[in-house]
Amino acid sequence: MTYPVYNQKGKEVSQALLPKEIFDVQLNKDLIHQVVVSQMANKRQKIAHTKIRSEVSGGGKKPWAQKHLGRARHGSIRSPIWRHGGITFGPSNEKEFKKRIPIKMRRKALFCLLSIKVKEKLLILIEDLNIEKPKTKLINEILGKLPLKNESSLIALPDMNKNLILATRNLPKIQTTQAKDLSCLDLVSFKYLILPKDSIKIIKETFLK
């Protein structure tokens, strides 16, 4: 299947041949949802944590005698019913959120999302994307000429281009990644996908194995 290719001035200059096995795959919403949820879970940091009674400091001594004081029986100030005692059923940083999804499922979901980008004209192919200096103004001028409609966009670079990475850091709706590192979570997080022509070859070599 052919797809229009733009230059850095925003003009259509040629047509590129997209591999059908990547950019023309039948939609599977359930698979996409499963993969995206797993990738979000794998990025989740285990921050929330409350101490249980064995982690609270103090409490080595019995607060008062068991009998003859007319008071309720207590064995430790670490008890959850005491103020500053341990927390019952609180969040723990030992909880595991990671989910494993087979490689073939991840790749199939990625191809589904790339196909959606093509069908909905949310894929922008550019002949070459390069700037001489890492200046935000330079990359902003190029992106302003592309049919992005001021929407969020992900640029998938064929290699590590420091000038482009540094230049896009200050643009709130733009993010860069390498084509070999594309994920479903990246594609659903941004409306447009900008691909230099060389990135197509990288995607094919990386994910079609």
Domain that holds residue 77: 45-96
Of all helices (H) and strands (E), which one includes residue 178?
A: strand 174-178
> What total of structural domains would you count in the chain?
2
Q: Which residues contact 193 (CB under 8 A, 6 or more apart)?
A: 114, 117, 122, 123, 124, 153, 154, 156, 187
Query: Are residues 143 and 190 both part of a single domain?
Result: yes
Q: pLDDT tens digits, residue range 19-43?
A: 999 999 999 999 999 999 999 999 9
pLDDT tops 80 at residue 209 = no
Is residue 147 domain-resident?
yes
- Answer whether residue 154 is part of any domain: yes
Confidence (pTM): 0.83
**Are 81 and 145 within one domain?**
no
Q: How big is the chain by its Cα radius of gyration, in Å? A: 27
Q: What is the pLDDT of residues 169-187, one digit of tens each?
A: 999 999 999 999 999 999 9
Q: Is residue 191 part of a domain?
A: yes
Q: For residue 89, tell me if it sits in a domain.
A: yes
